[in-house]
């Protein structure tokens, strides 16, 4: 799958964050593409099921932009809100009917006839691997989805689905402040099976540099600041570089709505930490030397 070095996550572009109007969406889309950030990460639920359509308004206005980008979207969460009054409680649905219906709605909202990658947003505790595979086979045969993957799945859950179809992506929470994928087998499995790990919240949701009395975050921040000074960079770029150096080839999903943050993130691939420097950040996160 063709994806950019970093991915623009759109979750906070709409009503859940910046509340962009159409010109604002158009500006950040074009500025991202101009800088080489051509992959955009969606989910049907973002903005209470409104962000895809808001983004799609730009593509309907300028269809040529679609050929310059890759669109990822996710489905499988049923979230009660004004736009989905038929959902009584929050739940998961990975039935064939729901997946197909969700894709049809996303295609319409995004103003496109295909999605580059579809991810199951969360593990469904009663998911049927064969039914998901059937849905994916149908969508691929119809040319409506080109690639498939998951989000927030454990290694055993990925193994189950990978026994039915090729899992190409696992979008996971990963950062120096969230180390579980490094120790629970998730990133090992990505290397083993050639799965692309995409990291959401790659900077710890902004908590690392905002902490005032969290000793762990203060340790991480102090080391990041020291390395940023050493490399004439910035702490956020250092932490993105830390992720990028993992051999599973993690791709960060940026949660920002600011072009300058996107621009800054692109420099992370140019910064190469020494091995001991990488482990300085690991030690700052865990609070102890490795065993």
Catalytic residues: 46
Token digits for 87? Answer: 């959902």
- Residue count of the chain, please give it: 291
Question: What are the φ and ψ backbone dihedral angles of 178, each rounded to 5 degrees?
Answer: -140, 95
Q: State the residue for tokens 């309907």.
A: 60
DSSP-assigned letter for residue 221: H
User: CA end-to-end span of the chain, whole Å?
Assistant: 38
Cα 170 to the center of its chain, rounded Å: 9
Q: How many CB atoms lie within 10 A of CB 273?
A: 18
CA angle 204, 205, 208 (to 5 degrees): 50
């Amino acid at each position: 799958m063709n994806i950019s070095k970093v991915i623009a996550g759109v979750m906070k572009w709409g009503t859940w964050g910046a509340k962009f109007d159409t010109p604002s969406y158009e500006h950040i889309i074009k500025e991202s593409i101009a800088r080489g950030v051509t992959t955009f990460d969606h989910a049907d639920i973002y903005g209470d099921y409104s962000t895809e359509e808001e983004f799609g308004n730009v593509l309907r206005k300028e269809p040529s932009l679609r050929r310059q980008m890759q669109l990822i979207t996710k489905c499988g969460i049923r979230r009660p809100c004004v736009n989905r009054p038929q959902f009584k409680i929050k739940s998961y649905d990975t039935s064939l009917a729901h997946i197909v219906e969700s894709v049809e709605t996303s295609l319409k909202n995004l103003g496109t006839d295909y999605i580059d990658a579809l991810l199951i947003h969360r593990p469904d505790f009663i998911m049927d691997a064969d039914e998901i595979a059937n849905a994916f086979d149908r969508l691929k045969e119809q040319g409506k989805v080109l690639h498939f993957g998951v989000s927030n799945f454990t290694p055993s859950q990925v193994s189950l689905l990978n026994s039915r179809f090729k899992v190409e992506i696992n979008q996971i929470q990963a950062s120096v402040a969230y180390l579980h994928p490094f120790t629970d087998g998730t990133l090992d499995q990505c290397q083993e099976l050639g799965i692309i790990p995409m990291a959401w919240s790659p900077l710890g949701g902004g908590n690392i540099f905002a902490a005032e009395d969290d000793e762990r975050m203060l340790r991480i921040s102090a080391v990041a600041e020291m390395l940023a000074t050493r490399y004439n960079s910035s702490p956020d770029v250092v932490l993105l570089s830390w992720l990028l150096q993992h051999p599973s080839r993690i791709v960060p999903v940026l949660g920002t709505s600011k072009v300058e943050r996107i621009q800054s993130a692109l420099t992370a691939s140019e910064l190469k930490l020494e091995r001991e420097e990488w482990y300085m950040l690991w030690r700052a996160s865990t609070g102890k030397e490795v065993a």
